[in-house]
Amino acid sequence: MPRTPAVKKGTALQTEIAKTRLKEGEAALWWLGQATFCFKIGEAIVYYDPFYRDKGQKPDTLQEMPLRPREMTGATLICCSHDHLDHTDPLTLPGAAKASPQAAVLLPHLARDVARKAGVPARRMRVMRGDDACTAHGLHVTALPSAHMGLEHDPKTGHRYLGYVFQGNGVALYHPGDTQPYAGWRERVDRFPLDVALLPINGNDNLFYPQAVYFCANHRPRLAIPIHYGMFAGNTEDPKRFTGLLAKNVPDQRVKVLRVGERYVYRKP
């Protein structure tokens, strides 16, 4: 089966990321497939859950991924949400870290162990526990606990699954990684007036698309973007089901369905 082609890839995409200039209240996003993103917020570049497989590599993928690890250049931060393969990938993360030698790597404790075994230098890594924050190159990053297979917490090492809120250039953007609803999630998210919310919709130990609609109804982000679909057979969802239910139940909610490799510039109204 042919993979869905990327809109832009390789050197052309690298150049577009590097040359994108943003005004106050703007952020640029590139969907690289599944949960993998590149964000540009002000001058800061973030790669989130870097994952790459070429055609024929296992696991088989339904989407063409537009950037090889060595092409993930110019990053200020590389963020991993948890230790699963498509979020902290031992085949992708070391190459991305090498391609962006100035980038700090933010990740939870178990993901750090994966990264260390894959060869990412310990000095590059900053372990986040959940409900903590850091600042890098003018970007304030808050780690919020997520509940993927469940809300797993160790008093010594913190939460196993994380999402991150990025605040900078007058914009607040939330990528929850993989999560299901849990007690206390609403109160944590309500601390942030969200401009952009990236919402998984596949429903496999993750939000089902109606739950992503409920998120929009409760938190009212200025823009919602469905993610975490279209990569693996048997673990996907049609984003039209999300946008259709959203139009019915939260009709004034702005939504954008991205294509892989496409740039989208969010502008605060």
Domain ranges in the chain?
10-267
Closest CA to 176 of 30, 37, 32, 22: 37
**Are 162 and 128 contacting, i.e. CB atoms less than 8 angstroms apart?**
yes
Q: Which residues contact 110 (CB under 8 A, 6 or more apart)?
A: 82, 83, 157, 160
Contacts of 129 (CB under 8 A, 6+ apart): 108, 109, 143, 157, 158, 159
Which CATH number is 10-267's, of 3.60.15.10, 3.30.2290.10, 3.40.50.300, 3.10.20.600?
3.60.15.10
pLDDT string in tens for the chain (269-residue length): 578 999 999 999 999 999 999 999 999 999 999 999 999 999 999 999 999 999 889 998 889 999 999 999 999 999 999 998 899 999 999 999 999 999 999 999 999 999 999 999 999 999 999 999 999 888 999 999 999 988 999 999 999 999 999 999 999 999 999 999 999 999 999 999 999 999 999 988 899 999 999 999 999 999 999 999 988 887 789 999 999 999 999 999 999 999 999 999 999 99
- If you search the block for the tokens 């993360």, which residue do you land on? 93
Query: For residue 255, how far is the Cα from the chain centroid?
Result: 16
Angle at 100 between CA 124 and CA 129, to 5 degrees: 35
Give me the pLDDT at residue 40, please: 98
CA 245, CA 268: separation in Å to the nearest integer? 24
Among candidates 166, 168, 84, 80, which has minimal Cα distance to 125? Answer: 80
- The residue written with tokens 């057979």 in the block is 233
Task: State residue 231's pLDDT score.
Answer: 84
End-to-end CA distance of the chain: 41
The first and second tokens of residue 3, run together, are: 């993979």
Q: What CA–CA distance (Å, rounded) separates 219 from 213?
A: 10
Q: Which residue has the tokens 């939000």?
A: 207
C-alpha–C-alpha distance, residues 68 and 11, integer Å:
10
User: pTM (2 decimals)?
Assistant: 0.97
Task: Output the pLDDT for position 1.
Answer: 57
Q: Please give the Cα distance from 224 to 220 (Å, whole number).
A: 9
Q: In the β-sheet with 44-48, what is the strand arrangement from edge to edge?
A: 125-127, 104-107, 77-79, 44-48, 37-41, 26-31, 263-267
